[in-house]
């Protein structure tokens, strides 16, 4: 009786255990990773508003009318020098392409 159940029990145990742990780890990683992404996009908020919602007629160009794709194109153009500007070409060069993509995904018009 013991021996009969032992093997499947171990298998079930491994299955359940892995499944549970990976699900928990996944949930945790997703939440944590969302937080990191929000944190990265928040580096833009000083000038362009919390969550990209800038002060209307505040004097700073608004970015919340751009889709993520449009925003990424502009950020890359600032980074490469294709688009001129005052501060943005200087700031865009400080981020990796992956970081710019994250920012555009976070702040682009949904």
Residue 91 belongs to what H/E stretch?
A: helix 88-92
Binding other proteins by CB under 8 A: which of 18, 22, 26, 60? 60
Neighbours of 48 (CB within 10 A): 19
Report d(CA 16, CA 29) in Å as an integer.
19
CA dist., res. 72 & res. 17, Å (int)? 41
- The pair of three-digit structure tokens given for residue 48, joined into one six-digit string: 């362009």
Length reported for the chain: 110
Please pick, from the candidates 20, 65, 80, 109, the single residue that binds other proteins as defined by CB under 8 A.
20
Residue 40 interacts with other proteins (CB under 8 A): yes or no: yes
Q: Which of 54, 66, 104, 108 binds other proteins (CB under 8 A)?
A: 54
Q: Is 84 in the site for other proteins (CB under 8 A)?
A: no
Interface with other proteins (CB under 8 A): 1-2, 5-6, 9, 12-13, 16-17, 20-21, 24, 27-28, 31-32, 35-36, 38-40, 42-43, 45-50, 54-55, 58-61, 86-87, 90-95, 99
């Amino acid at each position: 009786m013991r021996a009969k159940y032992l093997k499947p029990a171990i298998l079930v145990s491994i299955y359940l255990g892995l499944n549970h742990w990976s699900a928990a780890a996944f949930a945790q990683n997703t939440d944590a990773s969302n937080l990191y992404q929000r944190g990265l996009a928040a580096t833009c908020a000083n000038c362009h508003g919390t969550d990209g919602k800038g002060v209307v007629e505040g004097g700073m160009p608004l970015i919340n009318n751009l889709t993520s794709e449009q925003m990424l194109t502009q950020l890359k153009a600032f980074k490469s020098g294709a688009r001129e500007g005052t501060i943005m070409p200087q700031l865009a060069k400080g981020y990796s392409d992956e970081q710019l993509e994250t920012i555009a995904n976070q702040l682009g018009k949904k």
